[in-house]
Structure 1
């Protein structure tokens, strides 16, 4: 009996002094696959408990009641981590080495990387699988399966998706799913990749405003681009010297406050817009506020429909000077409301008024026999409510639904025909003169040894003639529209 106790004591001492258990297994495995890990320990008296640990969390436990030096653990790979195993025999517990198991995911890569590019550039997306054969690919754009009907058109080929010239429509979220047929159609999904497509800047534009503030006046210069993607750097220069700047991260419109006074030249302003690939300047904007003054003209234009009946009348108020005019309209000495509707319909049953072009023009529709009246317009500075009004002479506007008379139509048609004949005759004469000059030049070259006339002269004359014809024809078309 004593001999058996001594043997058991020596065996425990031998186990305690033996090498620690060894954990073996793969260093990586595809997401969702099965990984096999083996924990091998030195000989120990049964029962022996094997535990697979991930950090401090128990993943699986195996107890051996017979002498077996190895425990097998099969786990489903869901995330990366560091694994080790412990072996407990009696009251003695030993710990193995650690294995870091990396998850093999479907990788979606882009060229360029990161996927931020400008319109017209080439985009390449590659879907890389954790396995090498028996694969099929499904592509997603904004979480919808890419099909031949997808807009914008996308044509993936296997694990590659190439767009030769991207547009802003190609911006969005891309992903891919790989199906491995040799592993029971197991699928591997990539992460989403956001593609950003930037628009190139258009030439920046510039404008300025002027208003009355407490104790004086204040001005503001606005810079903007009709196209372009942020971020962009805006700056304002006065007389060639930068005076303000702003980094735009959302809107491509920036306003800079400037000190201004009426009737004073505050300098020449220019806007500059810079991105990582462009550096553009606006046109020059003189910062001069000219007060309203001088005489005011009022012009009337009658508009006729296809049936030769009057459809509307348009009144244009034109002050001789003034940078920021404010307009007011009067009918038969009474002021019209300042909040008129913009541009009423041309064919309306009741007479209506509408303002266009910032109040510079008044549109009258809904004509009726005997309609109309005496109209005037008044103008003053918009930034000064106490400024005096400058008034135009009164103009009598006659609104009638009567059609153009036959005599008027014949007169207009004859004038147009006569103008066309004169233009065609002028072109014919110029062409004949050009032919004679070329013939004279050829005869002179056979009898004289002097310098020849330049061959470009006839072509220049022809260009002028064509330009004149185009201009007259355009004028002819315009003359058919307004009738006084």
Structure 2
């Protein structure tokens, strides 16, 4: 006897808790997407049965079969499609998209983006209704290199199995720019190089102070930039590396700005020194080593013939050293050395011999003549016979003349002092100069005095006037005599061509010229 025992529950979203059919068959039944823990149908037949969304927890139908059973709405989702760039530049934002093209019912789908083989970390997720596109904006890092997959699943429904897209390969391009040293000296080239860790078909451009580097035979617009010995090459350099991908997209990366300073090599130093007096009466020399060119810091060193004296590194183009001296004693020779790179330059040897002022002090002048041969200016010169550091002073009627005044100008030179004077009423008086050591005013030597006055300067001596007048009277007498003798000849023709007539004419012309010149002289 066949015993049919059936318990069937047909519900939307329900669970068939128990079903046991013995000896039955269910032709045409299909339960896609359902989870059947146990089912046994024996000898039973349920034609046309349909279960929409069911979870058969326990079903025991001995001897039963469920061929071709159908469970609509519980079908597996279609396979998602993943779109995105195949190559991306590191540290840029790229967008990937994923969609399920067909779905039997409008449901909420969760899209997740993973690296293939690593489901522990989600690269991005997006929720959309079936038929809508999911967007994944990603900030590209080097770890994204490789294959990606998109996983689609129905939200809040564990019955429908998730589906996975075909894998999509992403190549991450990194353009990293680095440059070399920041400074170098004239005469030595510097190489700046754009280094990229990844990428090919890269072109380069160099910017100086934000502007493209001008085309020049000295500057080659390639991955490596060579700078040469010119200070004008100093500036803020930036490299731009550009990578064109698939002939459609162009990626570029700009390096951080590098301030390049072309350092000027130090020039040969000059040695100067001054002598100063201590309170105890001793003397010392303040030696200065200085260079006209050179980028600080500069190391200056002072040497004598026999030994090293001192060294100093400064942020200027000069350095000072102090050494003791003895007056009127030759203390040898000194030399300055300078260095601000890998080259040392040497100055000239200078004798360290300080001589105190001594000997005679001489004063003389030159005159500047204006209109009518009158003297309008004077240049006084004052010098001393010996002395390394003489100090000059000018006096007018016992008053010191310093610097520049209304009618004078003092110009001191190492060998002498010059007083430029405008001749006038205010400049009249007695002049003289004195000389002393610049470091010690105990020894003072004076020149002779000289009285200066405009009338005196322009007054001719009596002897000169007498000689000029005597010559003039002599010539007048000579001309008169020649003319008187000429009158004795009555024939004009003979008179016109005689030697005596030519002498008379020449003497008369010379006398007239002399009279004109003499009359212009001031008296």
Q: Taking structure 1 as the reference length, what is the TM-score of the superposition? A: 0.55
- Of 125, 135, 147, the residue aligned with 1:62 is 125
2:111 counterpart of 1:32:
no
Q: 1:178 to 1:325 in 2, by over 3 A?
A: same
| Contact in 2 for aligned 1:50/1:62 (Cα 8 Å) | no
* CA–CA distance in structure 2, aligned partners of residues 326 and 242 of structure 1: 32
SS of the aligned residue for 1:191 comes to coil
Q: Provide the aligned C-alpha RMSD in A.
A: 5.0
Q: Distance in 2 between matches of 1:244 and 1:160?
A: 47
**Alpha-carbon separation, structure 1, partners of 2:188 and 2:371:** 49
Q: 1:399/1:229 Cα in 2 relative to 1: closer, same or farther (>3 Å)?
A: farther
Q: C-alpha displacement at 1:115, in angstroms?
A: 5.1
Counterparts of 1:39 and 1:178, CA distance in 2: 29
Task: Give yes or no for contact 1:330–1:377 (8 Å, CA) kept in 2.
Answer: yes
Aligned to 2:272: 207
Q: Does 1:104 align with 2:189?
A: no
Greater relative contact order (Cα < 8 A, sep 6+): 1
Give the TM-score taking structure 2 as reference length: 0.51
CA separation in 1, counterparts of 2:423 and 2:447?
24
Following TM superposition, by how much is the alpha carbon of 1:320 offset from its aligned partner in structure 2, in angstroms?
A: 1.2
Structure 2 partner of 1:245 = 311
Q: Could you say which residue in structure 2 is the equivalent of 1:478?
A: none
Cα distance in 2 between the residues matched to 1:305 and 1:6: 135
Question: Any idea what SS the aligned residue of 1:389 has?
Answer: strand
Q: How does 1:396-475 map to 2 (within 5 A)?
A: 396=451
Contact 2:383–2:415 (CA under 8 A) maintained in structure 1 = no
Q: Distance in 1 between matches of 2:374 and 2:191?
A: 62
1:228 paired residue number = 294
Q: Deviations over 1:437-465 (max 9, x none)?
A: xxxxxxxxxxxxxxxxxxxxxxxxxxxxx
What number of residue pairs does the alignment pair up? Answer: 339
Relative distance call for 1:355 and 1:140 in structure 2 (3 A) is: same
Q: Check the 8 A contact 1:244/1:256 in 2, yes or no.
A: yes
How many Å separate the matches in 2 of 1:307 and 1:80?
Answer: 97
Distance in 2, matches of 1:359 and 1:214, equals: 28
Matched, 1:174 2:237: yes
CA distance in 2, matches of 1:125, 1:306: 70
Q: Deviations over 1:31-71 (max 9, x none)?
A: 4354988335688xxxxx9545xxxxxxxx527899xxxx9
Structure 1 residue 30: Cα displacement: 3.9
SS class of match (1:259): strand
SS in 1 for 2:410: strand
Distance 1:284 1:155, change over 3 A: closer
Distance 1:199 1:6 in 2: 89
Cα distance, 1:81 vs structure 2: 8.7
- Correspondence for 2:417 among 341, 351, 361: 361
1:286 pairs with 351, 357, 362, which one?
Answer: 351
Q: SS of the counterpart of 1:388?
A: strand
1:267 pairs with 2:343: no
Structure (1 or 2) with the greater helix fraction: 1
Q: 1:393 to 1:176 in 2, by over 3 A?
A: same
1:177 is displaced (CA, Å) by 3.1
Shift of 1:204: 1.8
Is the contact between residue 272 and residue 281 of structure 1 (CA under 8 Å) also seen in structure 2?
yes
Q: Is the 8 A contact 2:433 2:446 kept in 1?
A: yes
Residue in structure 1 matching 2:446, options 382, 386, 391: 391
Partner of 2:265: helix, strand, or coil? coil
Name the CA distance, whole Å, in 1 between partners of 2:341 and 2:452: 58
Query: Which segments of 5 or more consecutive residues in structure 2 lack a partner in the other structure?
Result: 1-16, 19-34, 39-84, 97-112, 157-170, 459-523
Question: Is 1:34–1:76's contact at 8 Å kept on the other side of the alignment?
Answer: yes
Structure 1 distance, partners of 2:212, 2:372, is 55
Cα distance in structure 1, aligned partners of 2:88 and 2:366: 82
Aligned to 2:78: none
Change in 2 beyond 3 A, CA 1:141/1:332: same
Contact 2:299-2:311 at 8 Å conserved across structures:
yes
Counterparts in 2 of 1:179 and 1:306: CA distance versus 1, 3 Å: farther
Residue 143 of structure 1 aligns with which residue?
Answer: 210
DSSP-derived class of the 1:255 partner: strand
> Of 130, 139, 146, which aligns to 1:76?
139
Q: CA deviation at 1:106?
A: 5.0
Cα gap change, 1:298 to 1:33, in 2 (>3 Å): farther
- Please identify the structure whose Cα radius of gyration is greater: 2
Structure 1 residues 29, 320: closer, same or farther in 2, change over 3 A?
same
Shift of 1:322: 1.6
- Quickly say closer, same or farther: Cα 1:116–1:295, change in 2 above 3 A: same
CA distance in 1, matches of 2:279, 2:86: 77
Match of 1:379 among 426, 435, 451: 435
Query: Is the CA contact (8 Å cut-off) linking 1:26 and 1:35 kept in structure 2?
Result: no
